Amino acid sequence: MPSPFTKTSRLGPLTIPPLAWTIFVLSLLLNAISVGAQPTTDPQIEGLLDLLQEEQSLQPFELGEIFSATSQPLGPTTATFEVTAQDILDQNARSLADALRFVPGLYLSVGGTTAPSFASIRGLTARQNVVFIDGRPVYDPFFGDLRLENLPVDNIAKIKVIKGPVDPVYGPNTIGTVINIVTKRGTAVPSTRGTISYDAHNTQDYWLEHGGRNNQFNYYLAGSYRRSNGFSLANDFSPTAVQPGEFREQSSLEKGNVSGNFGYDFSAENKVALVVGYYDAKQDNPVNINLRGTARQGLPFTRFTDWKRWYTDLYGQTKIGNRLELRGNAYFDRFQNDLAIFTDDTFSTVDDVSKDTNDVFGINAQGTFSLTDFVKIKGGVFLKQDQHERKSSDGREEIDSFTTGYFLDTEWVPIPNLIVSAGLNYDILYANSDRTVSAVSPRGAVIFQPFTSTRLHAAIGQKSRLPRLINLYSGVSNLSLQEERNLLVEVGASQSFLENRLELGVTWFRNALDDVIGFVRLPGAGRRTQDQNLTDATTMGIESYLSAKLTDSVKLLMDYTYLNVSVDTDNESHFDRFLHQFNANLQYQSNFGLGGFLQVSYIDGEPDAFPFNSTIGTNSLINFVLLNGKITYEIYKGIRPFLAIENLTDSNYARNLGFPESGRRFFVGINAQF
């Protein structure tokens, strides 16, 4: 077969995108302005500024964070895992999907048509987990889920994965886990960062970001560009009819984005900010390799010839007196895509093009009042308009919904090492003037720290998910759908030793879901489908972790998750599924510039919590070990070439059966900060 380095694609030859040059030149100009605004530095404190620059340049955008009424001096009230900007670099992550690959209890499914990458957490599906970016829910208004691989990571400061019965402050539809992404903001020390990497099949990645501050004004600019002709499968892959060779058919992509964050701080407590962004992509959807011939089961032969996203957010915060703080944001988010549908597996004849435009308008407003030094109350409102338009050969459809959400959250600190919180959500969905669905979701939690090295927490809540537009109107409409409900319970403990150099933690959790929405095939011709409340399920398991600072240069993090899923459907069928997941990563950073990162992940079981249809599927057992690594060396201050290896053992594996992932890959590149 031809050399993978000469594989051709419709994307054309290697070029440096104009977007990269534009951001680069703009960042240099802004850097010069910021530097010019800085006072001259005494040589005696230059060393101190050098030490602070790395930390300051990664400051998160505080107005975009979501805070409960609980000030959380004892930590969050439910299990929370954080992925930092440094973790993203270490893992060679190139999208949000990549950044979430090794989160405890999270199973990243890869492969599909409209949402090829989605996260299943504690057995709950993508539509039962909510993604936020700077306090704004991000999702496809029609489907209710999100293409995780189409969210870039160049401007991310941290990702917080919040499990269990989450705080009411996160608003409607938080029936499961919340993935809360916080981006970066400019700081007093101007900083420019860039990353370039290359892999086989003309795979190129460019990141560039710049931030700074001039008096009360701060700014942060970021952009990235990625293209690839595809990837090769493992050497021991067995070809099939629709995947005859080692090179993965229809796996090319081209993506670019640019974003900006502009803030003005009137004071430490009174701030405003404007966040804008644009994303543009073209991407193939590799098909299930087990398809027979050219059978079009579920429209498998597709390609996104265009996938765009625009967004604008306005944030504000103010404090009135010593006890009342107000904050909020207004946003507009547009998803627009053209999905080309082909008649066969050669992708040569277009059968139809589906053009979707999805708009989300929203306002979040919140206030926190300190009733006493020991009692806080937080309340707020969420208003959100979803609009969906689809054009295809079948005609044109337009549907919309309006969601309102109200919440109240309270905190009581009777003694310094005990926090008790309770809250309530009341959410209402108005669907296309046809139907109103409402849900009430109470929640409570307690944190107790008997010793400085010991922490205990427990939380319980009844959470709900309102039907999405696809549930109400796809196939044969069903306007009698009820909301999904989930009774969540979580109990956990953590213990540190050796002056916090070693920490152990364990959490037990249980989700009891009622009236889960799935689709059924109706009798008669045309293979018509309808969404119904048809499934009850219980997911239960344990998450544990060990974090150790072995030396000043070596850190170790290990976690293990066991999950059991029990499902009952309306046709009185019952089945159980299980999942074992183990992750470990070893980090090394010397004082002479050499750094290393080694990560192993082991998956065994059936990660799909339950089917979206009324027919229980065939066995979907997954079992694989994945080994990744990265080596860096600082050749000059802030300049770090690297070599990253993914799937070091060249294993033939798939997180989603029928969608094999890449074999061994080598990425060479350089990270720079100045």
Backbone angles phi, psi at 131, to 5 degrees: -105, 130
20: helix, strand or coil = helix
Helices and strands in the chain, H and E counts: 5, 29
Q: How far is it, in rounded angstroms, from Cα 651 to Cα 661?
A: 9
Q: What angle do CA 421, 422, 423 make, to 5 degrees?
A: 135
Which residue is it, tokens 């689709």? 519
The CA–CA distances, whole Å, from 668 to 197, 201, 535, 641 equal 5, 13, 47, 8
Model pLDDT, residue 288: 85
Q: How far is it, in rounded angstroms, from Cα 77 to Cα 58?
A: 25
- Alpha helices per DSSP H over 57-160: 85-90, 96-99
Backbone angles phi, psi at 532, to 5 degrees: -140, 160
Nearest C-alpha neighbor of 195 from the set 208, 181, 214: 208
Backbone angles phi, psi at 103, to 5 degrees: -75, 130
* Range 105-118 average pLDDT: 74
Q: How far is it, in rounded angstroms, from Cα 514 to Cα 441?
A: 14
Q: How far is it, in rounded angstroms, from Cα 98 to Cα 118?
A: 11
Does residue 641 surpass a pLDDT of 70?
yes
pLDDT tens-digit series, residues 496-550: 999 889 999 999 999 999 998 888 888 875 668 888 888 888 999 999 999 999 9
Q: Look at strands 302-320 and 324-342 and give their pairing.
A: antiparallel
- 157 CB contacts (<8 Å, ≥6 apart)? 58, 59, 60, 61, 84, 85, 182, 183, 184
Model pLDDT, residue 656: 83
C-alpha 118: how far from chain center: 9
Nearest C-alpha neighbor of 104 from the set 633, 582, 459: 582
- Alpha helices per DSSP H over 576-642: none
Does residue 190 surpass a pLDDT of 70?
yes
Q: How far is it, in rounded angstroms, from Cα 99 to Cα 152?
A: 10
14 — pLDDT class (breaks 50, 70, 90): very low
pLDDT tens-digit series, residues 407-424: 999 999 899 899 999 999
3-state secondary structure 294-331: CCCCCCCCEEEEEEEEEEEEEEEEEEECCCEEEEEEEE
b/e for 460-475, b at 16 or more Cβ within 10 A?
bbbbbbbbbbbbbbbb
Q: Which two tokens stand for residue 579?
A: 């999942």
Cβ atoms of 92 and 189 within 8 Å: the answer is no
Cβ atoms of 166 and 377 within 8 Å: the answer is no
DSSP string over 231-299: -BPPTTPPP-SS--SSBPTT--EEEEEEEEEEEEESSSS-EEEEEEEEEEEEEEEPPPTT--TT--TTS
Determine whether 624 is exposed, middle or buried from the number of CB atoms within 10 Å of its CB (0-12, 13-18, 19+). middle
Cβ atoms of 534 and 569 within 8 Å: the answer is yes
C-alpha 300: how far from chain center: 25
- Return the biggest CA–CA distance within the chain: 83
Cβ atoms of 368 and 402 within 8 Å: the answer is no
pLDDT tens-digit series, residues 312-364: 999 999 999 889 999 999 999 999 999 888 877 677 788 889 899 999 999 99
Cβ atoms of 49 and 41 within 8 Å: the answer is yes
CA torsion 58→107→150→663, rounded to 10°? Answer: 100
Comparing 143-157, 245-259, 636-650, the range with the smallest average pLDDT is: 143-157
Q: How far is it, in rounded angstroms, from Cα 610 to Cα 511?
A: 13
Does residue 668 surpass a pLDDT of 50?
yes
- 524 CB contacts (<8 Å, ≥6 apart)? none
pLDDT tens-digit series, residues 389-405: 999 888 888 999 999 99
Query: Where is pLDDT greater, at 500 or 20?
Result: 500
Neighbouring C-beta atoms of residue 76, cutoff 10 Å: 20
Half-sphere exposure of 441 (CA within 13 A, CB side): 34
523: helix, strand or coil = coil
Nearest C-alpha neighbor of 278 from the set 196, 219, 222: 222
Backbone angles phi, psi at 457, to 5 degrees: -145, 155
Cβ atoms of 225 and 252 within 8 Å: the answer is no
DSSP string over 105-119: TEEEEE--SS-SEEE
Q: How far is it, in rounded angstroms, from Cα 220 to Cα 30?
A: 10
Cβ atoms of 18 and 26 within 8 Å: the answer is no
Using CA of residue 660, residue 111, residue 625, residue 154, what is the dihedral sign? positive
pLDDT tens-digit series, residues 42-96: 333 333 334 334 444 568 999 988 877 555 677 788 999 999 999 999 999 989 9
The total number of residues written for the chain in this structure: 674
Does residue 114 surpass a pLDDT of 70?
no
Q: Which domains does the chain have, with CATH numbers?
A: 4-673 (2.40.170.20)
pLDDT tens-digit series, residues 297-307: 445 678 889 99
Backbone angles phi, psi at 54, to 5 degrees: -60, -45
- Residue 73 carries which DSSP code? T
Q: What radius of gyration do the chain's Cα atoms show?
A: 25
